[in-house]
Amino acid sequence: MSRILLDTFAYSAFMRREAIITSTVQTAEEICLNPVVLGELISGFIRGKSEKRNRKELQELLASPRVSILSIDEETSERYAIILCDLRKRGTPVPTNDIWIAASAMQYGLKVLTTDSHYKRVSQIVTEYCSVS
Answer for the pair 69, 103: CB distance below 8 angstroms, yes or no: no
- DSSP bridge partners of 128: 113
pLDDT in tens, 96-114: 999 999 999 999 999 999 9
Average pLDDT over residues 7-30: 96
- CA–centroid distance for 6 within its chain: 3
Cα Rg for the chain, rounded, in angstroms? 14
- At residue 34 the predicted structure's pLDDT band, cuts being 50, 70 and 90, is very high
Give the angle subtended at the CA of 38 by the CAs of 91 and 40, to the nearest 5°. 55
pLDDT of residue 84: 98
- 92 DSSP 8-state letter: -
Average pLDDT over residues 42-67: 97
- At residue 90 the predicted structure's pLDDT band, cuts being 50, 70 and 90, is very high
Examine the pLDDT at 115 and tell me if it is beyond 80.
yes
Q: Environment class of residue 88 by beta-carbon count within 10 Å: exposed (0-12), middle (13-18) or buried (19+)?
A: exposed
Average pLDDT taken over every residue of the chain? 96
Examine the pLDDT at 1 and tell me if it is beyond 70.
no
Domains and CATH numbers, the chain: 3-129 (3.40.50.1010)
- At residue 132 the predicted structure's pLDDT band, cuts being 50, 70 and 90, is confident
Percent of the chain at pLDDT exceeding 70: 98
The C-alpha atoms of residue 113 and residue 7 are separated, in whole angstroms, by 6
